[in-house]
Structure 1
């Protein structure tokens, strides 16, 4: 067996095992939480090559997340398996047109970006699924709409019919304790309710990463964004 084939086989085996363990943990957390939601595992392949995408697909994961448009596009050109691509990182307005090739935009963090995405989707004659990124924790290092501003923002989003507001995305503080994690995730859940009250479908909650995804699922996450726990530490 050529070295490259051996490396690919080892990677696929490791990812297969990791995915199986994660799915078990998600199922257990879902049962503990009692929200009854389905949970989509989004494999975050940033800084990993296209072989990581294919390993995730071979393990039954059909949703892949990337932080940067340019890195995602390079992998899209090489990957042949039919995954759904999620853009989970910060998106600059001048890259709004590139966002149209993603199944879901997790990081719609401002009205200016929402308008840019709407305008590009309208020009292309398509609709775009988006999540409102909210900064529940209030950290200055994080992007996102403040929860207090969501009701007014939700009303203005009705003027952008090319966007389908599917829910909320948030990130908890790094290394937060369980109490803070639960407060942040419950805050995101409350924001989703506000979006629904304003007339948006908003059925999804994208929250939880490798270090906190089980608590996120207990608190109602419908999408968890996992990289390290599936592929190891990033370079």
Structure 2
């Protein structure tokens, strides 16, 4: 589903949204039930401005300091207040305050210590929307909690006043065939369904990227994280 880098960001977003709508119809999903999260890590302000002009409102960032700088820029220079910022990268304990104070969503909570710090450091008012990252593939190189620990972590998050538990996120093993992709995503969908019986506010499955988006939508994804297919290849600075 990769879009050509020669296309404009606006054209790429239009094409991806059309692919999402087509997949929704193909797999019997409700229309507009899958949201596009534009993964804008390493991309300059000008690229995000082009995406915003194309109607994109939700952006995902992996690097804390870079994301905060973008959030602060748009809060100062963008007259609309409807942009939504998602932190989707691994969380270090010394970065939780910046995340808690600046982002709207966090996709990558995977342990109780991080959840507690985000709660304690979140300013009063609007709760931080939280997804639990689950390591469905069991790969040591992947962040995420074990399936067996999900319910205990969900209970903690649900009890914290400055956090709202919204669902689950995963980055499954990188496989190319649709059937294997689907099987991995279905594991997370089943886990979400089990959690919903205890926490009815859960409504979000963040899963699916450029190479496996159709399988994710078939399995029940409500939010796909797309970067390169929108913005082109990335330049990776040293993570901060």
Q: Please report the TM-score for the alignment, with normalisation by the length of structure 2.
A: 0.86
Paired position in structure 1 for 2:34: 39
Q: Deviation digits for residues 117-173 of structure 1, max 9, x if unmatched?
A: 11112x645411111111111111111111122223323333323210011111122
| In structure 1, C-alpha distance between the alignment counterparts of 2:36 and 2:212, rounded to whole Å | 14
Paired position in structure 1 for 2:238: none
| In structure 1, C-alpha distance between the alignment counterparts of 2:219 and 2:202, rounded to whole Å | 16
| In structure 1, C-alpha distance between the alignment counterparts of 2:55 and 2:6, rounded to whole Å | 11
State yes or no: 1:76 paired with 2:71: yes
SS of the counterpart of 2:184?
helix
> Larger deviation: 171-180 or 48-57?
171-180
State yes or no: 1:59 paired with 2:54: yes
CA contact (8 A) 2:176 2:211 kept: no
SS of the counterpart of 2:73?
coil
- Structure 1 pair 217/96, CA: closer, same or farther in 2 (3 Å)? same
Q: Deviation digits for residues 1-60 of structure 1, max 9, x if unmatched?
A: xxxxxxxxxx99701111111111101111122232611111111111011111111111
Paired position in structure 2 for 1:183: 183
Q: Please report the TM-score for the alignment, with normalisation by the length of structure 1.
A: 0.88
CA contact (8 A) 1:150 1:194 kept: no
CA contact (8 A) 1:108 1:132 kept: yes
Give the paired residue count: 224
CA contact (8 A) 2:39 2:227 kept: yes
Aligned-residue Cα RMSD (Å) equals 2.0
Paired position in structure 2 for 1:162: 162
| In structure 1, C-alpha distance between the alignment counterparts of 2:86 and 2:125, rounded to whole Å | 20
CA contact (8 A) 1:165 1:200 kept: no
Structure 2 gaps of 5+ residues are 236-240
Paired position in structure 2 for 1:195: 195
